Amino acid sequence: MNDTTEDIDDGRLRQQVDHVIAGGVHGILAFGSNSEFYMFDDDELIHGLEVILDQNQHRVPIFFGMGPIRTRRGVRLAQRAAKAGADVISILQPMFLKPTDEELFLHYKTIADSVPDTPVFVYHNPRVGYRLSAELISKMAHEIPNVIGMKDSSGDMTLLSEIIRLTEDIDFRTFTGKDTLIYLGLCLGTYGSVCSTANALAPLIVSIYDKFENGDYRGSRAAQFKLNPARLVQNEASFPVATKDMCRILGLDVGKPVLPNLPSEGKVYEDMKAQLQKLQEHE
């Protein structure tokens, strides 16, 4: 982010792409909730995607995140993202509305049908004001051909287990969206996790997954427990500034949050700094 103009800073964005890939991530979600997708217009979103794709050079899959309220806007944005070269399109349920399951299914199906050759993820985040049911997610997984996975940020392990149970007959890839639940998600059968803390702590995040996949379950759990205090302390900050606070504390030049959000200061900032220092001391 350019701190003066609030435009996407291409140079900083390219540095961040290289940083997380060097940290071992297996993919990048462009414009998740912590990366302020709701602050940018469609042209800015596509520009950011194009910069990420160019810097990535096919090293890892690139997911394009969006959360359109209006279905028609979602269709147009999804088509632009697919044309630009996004590997997967991740769609957050519409915020502010209180839609029925029928309306939600139509929303996702219409957008997914507009990009039939591009895989689509359901991004479930109750922060929008309501939850998606396991039955609705299963229906989308079974009846919309290119809906092939989801990111679940509910933190509800019963819901997650039901989604996995209802879709275990097909190749549906479920990811956790809570950084503190990577290990527990893998125990349930998730394919991985989408983590905001990976912007600065990628090696630790990746180690939770790698240790689990290699059968070192105790090591995986230990790595998860090592991460948790540094993630949980971020809850003291206003959303979504903690991710940029964390990067700033660890020396990464990512710029300030988009107004009206402001960088954390005082006790909130010092508490995050203290937990991150403890984390570094135990590396």
Give catalytic status of residue 98 as yes or no. Answer: no
Of the candidates 109, 151, 178, 244, the residue annotated as catalytic is 151
For the chain, the farthest-separated pair of C-alpha atoms sits apart, in whole angstroms, at: 51
Contact call for residues 250 and 258 (beta carbons, < 8 A): no
How far apart are alpha carbons 148 and 103 in whole angstroms? 20
Is there a binding annotation on residue 60? Answer: no
Which residue reads 């998740």 in tokens? 32
Nearest CA to 239 among 16, 38, 5? 38
How far apart are alpha carbons 37 and 84 in whole angstroms? 17
Residue 214 CB burial class (10 angstroms; 0-12, 13-18, ≥19): exposed
Of the candidates 108, 123, 183, 209, the residue annotated as catalytic is 123
Burial 139-175 (b: 16+ CB within 10 A, else e): bbbeebeebbbbbbbbebbebbbbbbebbeeeebbbb
The residue count of the chain comes to: 283
How far apart are alpha carbons 175 and 158 in whole angstroms? 14
Give catalytic status of residue 211 as yes or no. Answer: no
Residue 215 CB burial class (10 angstroms; 0-12, 13-18, ≥19): exposed
122: helix, strand or coil: strand
How far apart are alpha carbons 273 and 278 in whole angstroms? 9
Count of other CB atoms within 10 angstroms of residue 5: 8
The first and second tokens of residue 180, run together, are: 């503190």
Q: Identify whether 240 is preceded by a cis peptide bond (ω within 30 of 0).
A: yes
The set of catalytic residues is 123, 151
Binding-site positions for pyruvate read: 194
Residues that constitute the known binding site: 194
